[in-house]
Structure 1
């Protein structure tokens, strides 16, 4: 997973706290049936639907990662 600081940092939230929130949300996200929708939900939770900076997120899952 790669992301820009716009996802985890804002004028009202410290970078460290944003990273902690992102990491806390990942286990639930990876268990979701619809990974795309789960990422959208987590991004919305982290940004509260608004952001001060550009946001980019890349998530790559290896085909053999889940035993498939």
Structure 2
């Protein structure tokens, strides 16, 4: 199948499952936990920088620490 998934024959039931399982809320909560943990690492380790997250997409940069 090609094209936009929202034009596929089954998008409506899929979106209903997302709402029923509170996927967005769970994603936001997970992102907050990851952000807090990564911030702790940034304070603890000189090689962790640029902590960021948007929902459950979370990342940080590992850098070489020069002292």
- Give the TM-score normalised by the residue count of structure 2: 0.32
TM-score by length of 1: 0.31
Which has a greater percent of strand? 2
